[in-house]
Chains A and B, each alone.
Chain A
């Protein structure tokens, strides 16, 4: 199935896409490679958080600078992503520390002790959960940041006498426009990813049990933190751009 769908995908790109779309396939492949790089680094004993941060920075570098080009727009977006990555990391750590959303619920079908999975492994699952959240949020953060910084560049280009505050405010209003679609994109991907989980939960649990369950908390917290990061990045990018665009 994967092969057929990939063929359809590539065919469509040849039919409708441009060079830039083709370039985005290369970016996607590189990012997929980086993702496996993170997996293997953790497997070979690297600290999961460190591996993920390095991975996220590489993903940002590739997505911003390879796919687009090195200019003041992508540079500003890159710095904003870094700042938001640092802010979100500390927040994510706190939430994960208190909420115990790491690892797997005992009810999961395929991964459990009786299926031959031992839980005596070297890696702490809490750090892995933080890593998952960071990887989810980096994608939407890059997307939002680049959208704001390149639109702001056009604004500044067309109205060179705008002062810093004006540029900042205009960055916020550009951000407002794209906020909704980013949040919805995340929301629908998550609903789809966990559709079978929801079907499972409504079948076996009641409402309060669902609300307090590890599976549900894991999902809602991951998507919400990704959402939070994609909101925070709007003022951060607007601020950086208002300082840097001259």
Chain B
């Protein structure tokens, strides 16, 4: 009964925290310098909105907004949306500059974190903690990049940091964690080397279609970005596989210290075979999904399908393949590292 009570108190506390955070972000217009208006009524292209910050707070303003129904570049507003607006003295009218999305992002993140805490409890907390720290590290790395640091060097440092931090959080400081970190990093290193060789010695890559590459950029820079993407993109799945295998192997050795090497390898293989398929599937779907709008837009604009796939899907497929290579490679590598480690233990 006591346990149940504690759980209920925890849930209420969590709910209160979430609501307070959301409430503050929802009403944070005052912290912005740009004027923000809340949409109160929409009539065709005419939007009535109320200013929610600045000196004229509470004033009703009229806006006009037209959009293409396909919404490829345009936005369609609804009552309750917050818009960044600006006033032009020349035209004596307000116009829309953009949309305020911070509270929606915060809402979705809060729901994710709450669910992680409720379902995962202690592990959920560590997951949230790991995510937050990783995001901070990532932001820090981005600011260093902005100041002119080499992106590949930053990514390599980040990869090592991410791997150590997450595996320590999941597993704690023990033999398992060291083994997983070791096999994760060696596997990431190998896919990094493979892709670097292919990038520099394989057929030339055209970066014209790499989304959002800051312009202008040199080929060398683009290569470094691609290698960085491959390293970080593979990290998640590789960690997953290494941790599964090392945990399984140490479990087997602990239960039966004289287990033969063959039996150990076979059991580990069995376990990893069960997860490989769905893992490869996750990597596939996560990477290619964002291609959908690009494809539909391009096909509707009468681009040839083969051209679209060759140009716009190229990097998605590259990351899928390197991720999958990472999965297939990590299995024997992790098993090898575990058996190596064990032999050394026996000698000493």
Q: Which residues in A have some Cβ–Cβ distance to B below 8 Å?
A: 1-2, 4-6, 8-9, 12-13, 15-18, 20-21, 23-25, 27-28, 31-32, 35, 38-39, 42-43, 48, 59, 63, 67-68, 95, 97-106, 108-113, 116-126, 128-129, 131-133, 135-136, 138-140, 142-143, 146-147, 150, 172, 175-177, 179-200, 202-204, 208, 211-217, 220-222, 224-228, 231-232, 234-235
For chain B, the bracket of interface size reads 35 or more
Report yes or no: B84 in contact with A212, Cβ–Cβ below 8 A. Answer: yes
Q: Which chain A residues border B294 with CB–CB below 8 Å?
A: 111
Return the contact of A21 from the options B101, B194, B273 (Cβ within 8 A): B273
A246 to B324, CA, bound (A): 37
Q: Which of B215-243 contact A (CB under 8 A)?
A: 215, 225, 228-237, 239-240, 243
Q: Which residues in B have some Cβ–Cβ distance to A below 8 Å?
A: 32, 68-78, 80-81, 84, 98-102, 104-105, 108-109, 111-112, 115-116, 119-124, 126-127, 130-131, 134, 138, 142-143, 145-146, 151, 155, 162, 166, 169-170, 194-195, 198-199, 202-203, 205, 208-215, 225, 228-237, 239-240, 243, 269, 273-290, 292-301, 312, 314, 316-319, 321-325, 328-329, 331-332
Report yes or no: B213 in contact with A181, Cβ–Cβ below 8 A. Answer: no
B308's nearest neighbour on chain A, judged by CB, is A39
A126 to B142, CA, bound (A): 30
B222's nearest neighbour on chain A, judged by CB, is A196
B142's nearest neighbour on chain A, judged by CB, is A202
A199's nearest neighbour on chain B, judged by CB, is B214
Q: Which chain A residues border B275 with CB–CB below 8 Å?
A: 143, 147
Return the contact of A38 from the options B287, B292, B331 (Cβ within 8 A): B292
Q: Which 7 A-B pairs have the closest CB atoms?
A: A192-B233, A24-B277, A139-B285, A188-B236, A185-B236, A119-B72, A121-B300
Return the contact of A20 from the options B276, B314, B325 (Cβ within 8 A): B276
A70 to B316, CA, bound (A): 32
Report yes or no: A20 in contact with B273, Cβ–Cβ below 8 A. Answer: yes
In the complex with contacts A104-B73, A183-B116, A198-B142, A129-B210 CB distance below 8 A: no
Q: Which chain A residues border B76 with CB–CB below 8 Å?
A: 100, 126
Q: Can you list 19 A-B contacts (CB < 8 A)?
A: A5-B195, A9-B325, A28-B284, A63-B281, A99-B104, A103-B71, A109-B215, A119-B73, A139-B284, A143-B281, A188-B237, A191-B233, A193-B287, A193-B319, A200-B213, A202-B145, A211-B105, A231-B119, A232-B119
Tell me the smallest distance from the CB of A61 to a CB of chain B, in Å. 13
A104 to B72, CA, bound (A): 6
In the complex with contacts A39-B296, A104-B293, A191-B232, A175-B282 CB distance below 8 A: no
